[in-house]
Amino acid sequence: MSKNDEKSTVGRLTSRPQFLFVREGEKRKGPLFLLEMRDRQQPDAKPRVGFTVTKKHGNAVERNRMRRRLKEAVRLSAGFAMQPGHDYVIVARREILHASFEDLQERLRDRIQTTQKQKRSATPGPGKE
């Protein structure tokens, strides 16, 4: 098995417009990360994932460690739970450094598999017309 075969289940988001497109989609919050997802309306395309770790979460060494942990969790388990034709952005939180890897994998898998939340009704609220 070559290195490319291992990563074939998920593609990568690489450009800023791709990340901004996903930002407008559904968000699922958690203590270790924020998961943003959006349907590309291409059911045959493989899912794509991007990782964001902001500078407020530590120096370069810590940020890279967070990113590597997330990438490995996606590669080992969460990538198989991702829906085809969807884009995902995982925004790390500092707590990810102190969580066990098993906990990280479980939470990531749960966030991805959670059914979409019910949309609020389109009727305007009180005082809004």
Domain positions in the chain? 23-113
pLDDT attached to residue 71: 93
pTM over 0.85: no
CA distance 104 to 126: 41
Percent residues over pLDDT 90 in the chain: 59
pLDDT attached to residue 25: 92
Q: What CATH fold (topology level) applies to the domain 23-113?
A: Ribosomal Protein S5; domain 2 (3.30.230)
What's the chain's average pLDDT? Answer: 83
- Summarize pLDDT for 19-51 with one digit per residue, the tens: 999 999 999 999 999 999 999 998 888 999 999
pLDDT attached to residue 61: 95
Helix (H, G, I), strand (E, B) or coil at 119: coil
CA distance 117 to 119: 6
Cβ count within 10 A of residue 56? 7
Mean pLDDT of 87-93: 94
pLDDT attached to residue 121: 39
pLDDT attached to residue 82: 87
Report which secondary-structure segment, H or E, holds 87.
strand 86-92
Higher pLDDT, 64 or 3: 64
pLDDT attached to residue 78: 76
pLDDT attached to residue 8: 56
Report which secondary-structure segment, H or E, holds 20.
helix 16-23
